[in-house]
Chain A
Amino acid sequence: MENKIKQSGNRQNELVHILHEVQERFGYIPPERLAEIAKKLNISESEIYGVLTFYKAFSLEPGGEHTVTVCMGTACHVRGGQQITDEMERKLDIKVGQTSADGKFTLETVNCLGCCAIGPVVTVDGKYYSHATMKNIASILKEY
């Protein structure tokens, strides 16, 4: 991260890139790093806080070991995407945005993955599962 900041100079336009890299590296944006980024970019911490909480890509808390994402696009919705989300919430005993008690899964939704023909779509750590049903959710989770 240090390197990335040095490369980018003191410019706000690098902020989103940097946040992407930090998020990718740590799985979240460690809050204690904000001051460091702010100083290097010569912008305020509150500005960074504003940007990172605005975008869905960034999180200030570490997620679970695996991230389960249910697509909530229109095509998935008319094919029962909401039911899949509900069932995931029951199976993992958490709400969307939370991490299961054993720290294994974080449940998220996404607006559309653009794979509308094969919906409802679920991804786990970026691996796509097509035609999700209430029945096959359990077997998807079992893989992890």
Chain B
Amino acid sequence: MKRISHPNQLNEWKEEIISNLPSYRKTVVISSGTCGQASGSLQIIDAFEQELEKKDLKNDIGIKITACHGFCEMEPNVIIQPAGIFYKQLKPENVPEIVEKTILQDEIIPSLLYEDPATKQKIEIQTEIPFYRRQKRFLTDNNFKIDPTLIEDYIANDGYQALAKVLFDMTSEDVIDEVIASGLRGRGGAGFPSGRKWKFCRDVRADVKYIICNADEGDPGAYMDRSLLEGNPHSVIEGMIIGAYAIGATEGYIYCRMEYPMAVKNVSIALEQARKYGFLGESILGSEFNFRIHIFKGAGAFVSGEETSLMASIEGRRAFPQQRPPFPAESGLWGKPTNINNVETWANIPMIINKGAEWYSEIGTRTSTGTKIFSLVGKINNTGLVEIPMGMTLREIIFDVGGGIKDNKKFKAVQTGGPSGGCIPADMLDLPIDYDTLAKAGSIMGSGGMIVMDEDTCMVDVAKYFLNFTQEESCGKCVPCRIGTRQLKEMLTKITEGHGEEGDIEKLQDLADAIKSSALCGLGQTAPNPVLTTLKYFQEEYEAHIKEKSCPALVCKELIVYFIEPDKCVGCLLCKQSCPVDAISGERKQVHVIDQALCIKCGACFDVCPKKLMAVSKYTGKKKEKIIKQSSQKKN
């Protein structure tokens, strides 16, 4: 295939690809993104290839290797098309049975099906699983259909059609108007209207303009951008080319964090293909528009996700943020007007052009249109990436899509927005999720991480975790962030270690407010949010740590003890053998005892004690003191 130099050729190519598709009787679609591979998808692929070879079915049955299917908890999983049968958590030894029964005889294997934890019902078809059924997978649906290393798969699924439409049927003003009308807001966190941002940059006169795709998805617990880049990189690239045309940019960068090796690889392959077929470079699709994209691999600094820091990083400098204004739209990369959007924002663009702003703006709420991908993680049953229309309530997301809390524990809070966000408590579960409601609750949308926490999560510890994170990642340029986050972290550490004092809560509050109002960039200004929201919604937990020196969730090491219940212990030796410091004594079939003076509270005994016995308990507060006292008396 040569370079595509006319929209008609694109359509011809698409027809050709579709007509040349092998007519497989069935196709096994294997999810093999980073999570899938970490769970063993490569062995599953091998097993299917060997089995089909062995049974001489290679011409009859296809294998399609895609990236993430979103249902990460069920990796490695496969979907057998055209019926759409979903098999989960596979092992290579399951493969011969699948080929023999399901592929050759249309027989379902119940043990490999997904079971709804609520109804205990086994579900055969992927689209009928509640996790998928309640989603609106407009952006992520192609992850089921596309082998991300094959541009042909993207073309067959209407790839680059939006680009052709834009280049030949629309002026750059039309494109910007369309994006403004769609109501699309930036998916990176702050939610600025994308069309307006483009317009600012377009209106600045300059010889060179840049656009950047921010793929430095640094928020811990968020990985939707990774999934899009791994699974459908051309959609992001197409979005960028359309944006460049609208803004008048000639060069673009994809800044991808180094912690995502597969994303870097798949994007690099996709860029190479896009260049080869004439979607990038000189005279794109035969038009007069030229545009290039480079990939830039990050070097491991959270602050690089902040737009001005990101540009400093591309320039080969330390990722220090800069005072705004001037905004990047006026003076960005190398002082030139620059437009930065996040991966998911770019991926929305081809869809908006193809289906129209009107269609798009009807999805979601009035002020937050479209769908948003969230990563639903933590103590939740259906861990994974979910794409839902804006405005769905937290309760629907967590309990209907997410299947509720793991091990039937009680829901305590959901953390959104990463280190810049906050914790939302149970009594706000009916909050419809959009940019504005989350901000009102003291959190932010962020890039879409949702970390679900249950009764076993200590909110003071969570605040400490995030402050530890931001303190380490603070670039050090401005004082409020460099010193303030450190002070916050030290105060929280003091509280979690049982040295909290009266007045600490007020001090935390004051300092958090001061940092929020005086830090230079987004990282510092939002760093106190985890503290402020946990103080607002979970103040009683802070008070328990400070006044009673107890950790109600039994997490903070210094405030708890591990104790072997004499009436439950059967003397199986498991805990004794797993103790790294030999703090447990007791012979076989005799009750074991922890020497509290030696115990380092690593939790190994708690983890290994068989679930049916539950002989190791954790205690805090007065009971803890009593156990320590008894332990030292016994010793003497």
Contact = CB atoms under 8 A, between A and B. Distances in A.
Interface string B276-306: 0000000000000000000011111110000
Contacts of A129: 38
Interface string B378-404: 110001100000000000000000000
A15 interface: yes
A12 B317 CA distance: 8
Contacts of A110: 259, 300
A58 B301 CA distance: 11
A74 B259 contact: no
Contacts of B299: 16, 19-20, 55-58
A50 B222 CA distance: 29
B623 interface: no
A114 B221 CA distance: 6
Contacts of B473: 111
B314 interface: yes
A98 to B, nearest CB: 17
B607 A135 contact: yes
Contacts of A56: 299-301
B219 A112 contact: yes
B248 interface: no
Contacts of A78: 378-379, 451, 453, 457, 462
Contact of A114 (B223, B384, B453): B223
Of A14, A83, A116, chain B has the most CB atoms within 10 Å of the CB of A116
Nearest to B334: A13
Interface string A67-103: 0000011110111100100110010000000000000
Nearest to B375: A116
B610 interface: no
Given A117-B383, A118-B75, A16 B38 contact: no
A44 interface: no
Interface in B240-266: 258-261
B302 A13 contact: no
B221 A116 contact: yes
Interface string B83-103: 000000000000000000000
A11 interface: yes
B317 A74 contact: no
A51 B318 contact: yes
A141 interface: no
Given A116-B377, A129-B38, A13 B316 contact: yes
A139 to B, nearest CB: 13
A74 B530 CA distance: 12
Interface in B571-618: 578, 580, 602-604, 607-608
B318 A50 contact: yes
Interface residues of B, number: 59
B263 to A, nearest CB: 9
A45 B190 CA distance: 37
A114 B34 contact: yes
B500 interface: no
Given A51-B316, A111-B302, A116-B383, A74 B75 contact: no
A16 B220 CA distance: 23
B217 interface: yes
Pick from A57, A78, A128, A135 the residue with the most CB of B within 10 Å. A78
A75 B603 contact: no
B620 interface: no
A75 B38 contact: no
A74 B221 contact: yes
Given A54-B301, A57-B300, A75 B377 contact: yes
Nearest to A72: B220
B37 interface: yes
B316 A112 contact: no
Nearest to A47: B317
A118 B603 contact: no
A118 B35 contact: yes
Nearest to B580: A90
A53 B599 CA distance: 37
B149 interface: no
A144 B408 CA distance: 38
A16 B383 contact: no
Interface string A6-28: 00000111111101100000000
Nearest to A13: B316
B550 interface: no
Contact of B72 (A11, A90, A117): A117
B498 interface: no
A117 B73 contact: yes
Interface string B400-436: 0000000000000001001000000000000000000
Nearest to B453: A78
B236 to A, nearest CB: 16
Contacts of B298: 57
B39 interface: yes
Contact of B34 (A75, A87, A115): A115
A83 B602 contact: yes
B318 to A, nearest CB: 4
B221 A73 contact: yes
Contact of A112 (B218, B297, B465): B218
A121 interface: yes
B316 A11 contact: yes
B313 interface: yes
A129 B39 CA distance: 8
A58 B297 CA distance: 13
B350 to A, nearest CB: 24
Given A12-B316, A74-B451, A112-B221, A117 B377 contact: yes
Contact of B220 (A73, A80, A126, A133): A73
B106 interface: no
A17 B298 CA distance: 9
A111 B384 contact: no
A57 B219 CA distance: 18
Contact of B318 (A54, A74, A111): A54
A130 B316 contact: no
A38 interface: no
A114 B217 contact: yes
B451 A15 contact: no
B469 interface: yes
Contacts of B218: 111-112
A136 to B, nearest CB: 11
A128 B220 contact: no
B226 interface: yes
B347 to A, nearest CB: 16
Contacts of A114: 34, 217, 222-223, 226, 259-260
B35 A115 contact: yes
B319 interface: yes
Contacts of A12: 315-317
7 contacts: A12-B315, A74-B415, A74-B465, A111-B469, A116-B377, A117-B384, A119-B377
Interface of A: 11-17, 19-20, 50-51, 54-58, 72-75, 77-80, 83, 86-87, 90, 110-119, 121, 126, 128-130, 133-135
